[in-house]
């Protein structure tokens, strides 16, 4: 159902009480403002999470304890994970959803504009709780971002703050997802059937359903931990009749779809960028929709591959091994479709395309190591080692983060009206790609050689690779300051060439064809008719 919006009413800009300054941002219900706030919030969290990571890597430069003590080290690894996942990657994609979905479907805003504001403003509150947790007795949560019981039931009040923060972030995600689904299903411009939507919109539609399905499950798991900690329950305490492994089942039933939640919008961004820079339509649109849906459905059936060493019965192990291996099929289909989009195109390699192609290269490597981990007997050797750390950083950093970079460079002309500095963008790409691989590729070898994860100190034979990794990590971290500068330059400082409405000649979605750059504060008062 999409209706043409009445245009000869008043325009909101004319209201005398349109707030400016701080109150504009606090009270805004505009999807562009809210998108901007999500993106800046996520960038701040990325830098904060990065500082935690660099502290970890500084400690791991050499064997021995030099900089931090083991209990603080566990806080660092835990908070690095929580901040990056819930503070950086997920809000960044929601920021993209807010900016892009209404424009790409020809809608004037999100369906629930005020709930949209609250979805965002919950996040700084949650982030504050996480930061404060470092300063309470016992420090920040230190049981890993996975918070396994009964270790998590042992922790100090920092764990309660962490649980509270995750609850708040979960509520924000659920509300955001309700908004996204309602907007996409109800507010598309006339003529835009579901199978004519841009792929980015499709991937967010599917992601939003996944979020609604699993965030409540996470909330359940951490509430049970909270109850065991303070209400005398024994959900995960065997002495009271409970089962620690049940936590893992519940957590990973959330946890596995969660990682696909973090990659599907990335797939959507790549599906916008590659056709634009190949000047060729996305190959196999329908296949891409079906493949994405298959990945989403399969993702609910594989959670116990995170539990291969817990002691599941043989039949269970076989099922989860086969189901996990199966996800390689639709993922491969997507990769092949992107390649077929590039094939016989007329490609140019501005920064968004560099990051998109870089994504393809490095994400596929992460996919290969995922397949390796799916093979249960091999996983016995690799579970809880640096091989796993390598795998998920390949898919989350080289995957999700590179896609976020690609999308930012791609859309920032539309958002700010300025072209980003192409030279700086290219430097950012090459430095990131090189230092990323220096940092994370050797971790595969460390895992194979037998180095466990989540340890502040290690046996001497792991020294050389750890040194190389630490140097790479600092290089990668510093390279992101270049990105910060580039983004500030065109957004806040307003420098750079003025962007035309359509700076990318191969881009053909509604925001490029129907809106100027920068996009007006309110767009699509009147919905276009899509043929």
Site for other proteins in 456-495 (CB under 8 A): 456-461, 463-465, 467-468, 471
364 is a site residue for other proteins (CB under 8 A): yes
Question: Rounded to whole angstroms, how far apart are CA atoms 478 and 432?
Answer: 9
Site for other proteins in 433-452 (CB under 8 A): 445, 448-450, 452
Q: Which is nearer to other proteins, 67 or 492 (CB)?
A: 67
Q: Give 60's DSSP letter.
A: T
Question: Rounded to whole angstroms, how far apart are CA atoms 423 and 22?
Answer: 34
Q: Which is nearer to other proteins, 113 or 245 (CB)?
A: 245
Site for other proteins in 296-335 (CB under 8 A): 309-311, 314, 317-318, 321-322, 325-326, 328-329, 332-333, 335
530 is a site residue for other proteins (CB under 8 A): no
From 258, 379, 421, 511, active-site residue: 258
157 is a site residue for other proteins (CB under 8 A): no
Out of 26, 339, 478, 481, name the contact with other proteins by CB under 8 A: 339
Identify whether 453 is a catalytic site residue. yes
428 is a site residue for other proteins (CB under 8 A): no
Site for other proteins in 171-230 (CB under 8 A): none
Out of 368, 430, 485, 493, name the contact with other proteins by CB under 8 A: 368
Question: Rounded to whole angstroms, how far apart are CA atoms 20 and 27?
Answer: 10
Contact 457, 65 (CB under 8 A): yes
> Token pair for residue 414?
């539309």
Identify whether 258 is a catalytic site residue. yes
Contact 349, 277 (CB under 8 A): yes
Identify whether 145 is a catalytic site residue. yes
DSSP per-residue string spanning 143-158: STTTT-TTHHHHS-HH
For the chain, how many residues are written? Answer: 531
Question: Rounded to whole angstroms, how far apart are CA atoms 43 and 131?
Answer: 16
Identify whether 331 is a catalytic site residue. yes
Q: Which is nearer to other proteins, 299 or 523 (CB)?
A: 299
> Token pair for residue 241?
């009749």
From 38, 99, 145, 420, active-site residue: 145
Residues in Cβ contact with 430 at an 8 Å cutoff, skipping those fewer than 6 apart? 354
Out of 115, 243, 293, 426, name the contact with other proteins by CB under 8 A: 243
Q: Which is nearer to other proteins, 47 or 325 (CB)?
A: 325
Q: Which is nearer to other proteins, 283 or 411 (CB)?
A: 283
Cα–Cα–Cα angle for 360, 491, 20, rounded to 5 degrees: 135
Strand-pairing partners, residue 457, are none
Identify whether 306 is a catalytic site residue. yes
DSSP per-residue string spanning 472-528: HHHHHHHHHHHHHHHHHHHHTS--SPBPPS--STT--SHHHHH--SSPPSS--SSPP
Contact 363, 395 (CB under 8 A): yes
Identify whether 172 is a catalytic site residue. yes
> Token pair for residue 383?
């579970």
Residues in Cβ contact with 55 at an 8 Å cutoff, skipping those fewer than 6 apart? 67, 68, 76
Q: What is the closest distance, in whole angstroms, from the C-beta atom of residue 518 to other proteins in the complex?
A: 27
SS3 assignment for 190-219: CCCCHHHCCHHHHHHHHHHHHHHHHHHHHH
From 188, 334, 393, 444, active-site residue: 334
Q: What is the closest distance, in whole angstroms, from the C-beta atom of residue 524 to other proteins in the complex?
A: 27
Question: Rounded to whole angstroms, how far apart are CA atoms 255 and 266?
Answer: 18
Question: Rounded to whole angstroms, how far apart are CA atoms 356 and 338?
Answer: 10
Site for other proteins in 20-79 (CB under 8 A): 61-66, 69-71, 74
Q: Which class for 426: exposed (0-12), middle (13-18), buried (19 or more C-beta within 10 A)?
A: middle
Q: Which is nearer to other proteins, 112 or 267 (CB)?
A: 267
**Residue with the two structure tokens 């904060």:** 48
Identify whether 109 is a catalytic site residue. yes
Q: What is the closest distance, in whole angstroms, from the C-beta atom of residue 510 to other proteins in the complex?
A: 19
92 is a site residue for other proteins (CB under 8 A): no
**Phi and psi based region of residue 426 (left: phi greater than 0; alpha: psi -120 to 50; beta: remaining):** alpha
Q: What is the closest distance, in whole angstroms, from the C-beta atom of residue 199 to other proteins in the complex?
A: 12
Out of 48, 97, 127, 143, name the contact with other proteins by CB under 8 A: 143
Count of chain residues binding other proteins (CB under 8 A): 99
Site for other proteins in 370-389 (CB under 8 A): 371-372, 375-378, 380-381, 383-385
Q: Which is nearer to other proteins, 148 or 427 (CB)?
A: 148
> Token pair for residue 38?
């999500």
137 is a site residue for other proteins (CB under 8 A): yes
Identify whether 173 is a catalytic site residue. yes
Q: Is 139 helix (H, G, I), strand (E, B) or coil?
A: coil
391 is a site residue for other proteins (CB under 8 A): no
From 31, 229, 256, 428, active-site residue: 256
From 331, 369, 408, 509, active-site residue: 331
154 is a site residue for other proteins (CB under 8 A): yes
278 is a site residue for other proteins (CB under 8 A): yes
From 31, 32, 57, 80, active-site residue: 80
From 305, 391, 414, 514, active-site residue: 305
From 31, 167, 280, 306, active-site residue: 306
Contact 200, 356 (CB under 8 A): no
Q: Which is nearer to other proteins, 3 or 239 (CB)?
A: 239
148 is a site residue for other proteins (CB under 8 A): yes
Catalytic residue numbers?
A: 80, 109, 145, 172-173, 256, 258, 260, 271, 305-306, 331, 334, 453
């Amino acid at each position: 159902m999409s209706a043409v919006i009445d245009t000869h009413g008043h325009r909101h800009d004319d209201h005398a009480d349109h707030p400016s300054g701080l109150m504009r941002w606090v009270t805004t219900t505009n999807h562009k403002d809210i998108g901007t706030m999500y993106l800046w919030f996520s960038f701040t969290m990325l830098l904060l999470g990065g500082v935690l990571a660099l502290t970890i890597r500084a400690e791991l430069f050499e064997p021995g304890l030099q900089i931090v003590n083991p209990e603080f080290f566990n806080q660092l690894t835990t908070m690095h994970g929580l901040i990056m996942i819930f503070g950086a990657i997920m809000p960044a994609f929601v920021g993209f959803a807010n900016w892009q979905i209404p424009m790409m479907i020809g809608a004037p805003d999100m369906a629930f504009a005020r709930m949209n504001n609250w979805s965002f403003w919950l996040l700084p509150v949650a982030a504050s709780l996480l930061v404060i947790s470092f300063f309470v007795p016992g420090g920040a949560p230190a049981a890993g971002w996975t918070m396994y019981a009964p270790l998590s039931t042992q922790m100090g009040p920092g764990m309660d703050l962490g649980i509270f923060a995750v609850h708040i972030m979960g509520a924000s995600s659920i509300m955001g997802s309700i908004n996204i689904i309602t907007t996409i299903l109800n507010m598309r411009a006339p003529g835009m059937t579901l199978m004519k939507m841009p792929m980015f919109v499709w991937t967010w539609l599917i992601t939003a359903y996944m979020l609604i399905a699993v965030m409540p499950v996470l909330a359940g798991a951490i509430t049970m931990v909270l109850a065991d900690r303070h209400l005398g329950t024994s959900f995960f305490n065997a002495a009271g009749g409970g089962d620690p492994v049940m936590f893992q089942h519940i957590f990973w039933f959330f946890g596995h779809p969660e990682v696909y939640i973090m990659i599907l919008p990335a797939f959507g961004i790549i599906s916008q960028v590659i056709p634009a820079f190949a000047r060729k339509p996305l190959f196999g649109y329908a296949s891409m929709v079906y493949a994405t849906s298959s990945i989403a459905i399969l993702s609910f059936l594989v959670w116990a591959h995170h539990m291969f060493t817990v002691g599941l019965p043989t039949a269970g192990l076989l099922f989860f091994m086969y189901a996990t291996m199966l996800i390689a099929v639709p993922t491969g289909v997507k990769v092949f479709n992107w390649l077929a989009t590039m094939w016989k195109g007329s490609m140019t390699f501005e920064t968004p395309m560099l990051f998109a192609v870089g994504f393809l290269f490095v994400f596929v490597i992460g996919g290969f190591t995922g397949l390796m981990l799916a093979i249960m007997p091999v996983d016995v050797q690799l579970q809880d080692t640096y091989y796993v750390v390598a795998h998920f950083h390949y898919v989350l950093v080289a995957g999700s983060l590179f896609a976020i970079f690609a999308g930012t460079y791609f859309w920032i002309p539309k958002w700010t009206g300025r072209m980003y500095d192409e030279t700086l963008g290219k430097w950012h790409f090459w430095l990131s790609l090189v230092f990323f691989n220096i940092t994370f590729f050797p971790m595969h070898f460390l895992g194979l050689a037998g180095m466990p994860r989540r340890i502040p100190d290690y046996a001497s034979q792991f020294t050389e690779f750890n040194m190389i990794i630490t140097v790479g990590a600092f290089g990668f971290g510093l390279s992101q300051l270049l990105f910060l500068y580039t983004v500030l330059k065109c957004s806040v400082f307003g420098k750079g060439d003025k962007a035309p409405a359509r700076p990318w000649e191969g881009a053909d979605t509604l925001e490029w064809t129907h809106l100027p750059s920068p996009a007006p504060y309110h767009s699509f008062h009147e919905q276009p008719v899509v043929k």
